[in-house]
Chains A and B, each alone.
Chain A
Amino acid sequence: GAGVSQSPSNKVTEKGKDVELRCDPISGHTALYWYRQRLGQGLEFLIYFQGNSAPDKSGLPSDRFSAERTGESVSTLTIQRTQQEDSAVYLCASSLATGGAYEQYFGPGTRLTVT
């Protein structure tokens, strides 16, 4: 079946503009995660969803970042008033259920470049 998909694959935007990143998880996966991977660095947890609710938003870097998920399906990560330090690859992952033991399946990522 289809894996996790993300769009766009690449996004170049000017500083100060808003961007919206989309994640389509694997069908039936109730848990969804967003991570940020800066160049040459590890994954930085941003937020996760269990169904449509987000129990843990502690990783969001600032109030310019927000995310939502509708219908236990698609999720969007929105970055307002983008800054150059927001440049990174944004990864989405989904898992069948919660509990920590379930494998996370990762999408290919969205490479965001803020000029």
Chain B
Amino acid sequence: AQSVTQLGSHVSVSEGALVLLRCNYSSSVPPYLFWYVQYPNQGLQLLLKYTTGATLVKGINGFEAEFKKSETSFHLTKPSAHMSDAAEYFCAVSENRGYDKVIFGPGTSLSVIP
């Protein structure tokens, strides 16, 4: 069965510092991987996704994530945090088998300190 873990329910970084949000998954088949963001009082929106091909994927707002099969990880990074990055971030996995259930991780709340 698929599952997603996100290390750290809350992460705080200083403005301008590196953002690193960790995600590990388990899947019996090659996965599709996603990061979604939920800004305060807004709906979820897709940041980026990995399906096949290049393992380093770039998303909106300067975020990127790298799929590492050997580590079953899909960590999200951004070189320099902005105040506007404060939000809840969800990692998600969907098995690459035409099955449609996407399993979300518990989420990481990112705070950016001025």
Contacts and interface: CB of A to CB of B under 8 A. Distances in A.
A48 interface: yes
B89 to A, nearest CB: 11
Given A100-B32, A101-B51, A103-B49, A109 B104 contact: no
Interface in B79-114: 90, 94-107
A91 B88 CA distance: 15
B46 A31 contact: no
A104 interface: yes
A45 B90 CA distance: 13
A1 interface: no
Given A43-B44, A45-B101, A101-B32, 16 more contacts: A33-B100, A33-B102, A35-B104, A41-B106, A42-B106, A43-B90, A45-B103, A45-B104, A48-B101, A99-B98, A100-B95, A100-B99, A100-B102, A101-B51, A106-B36, A107-B43
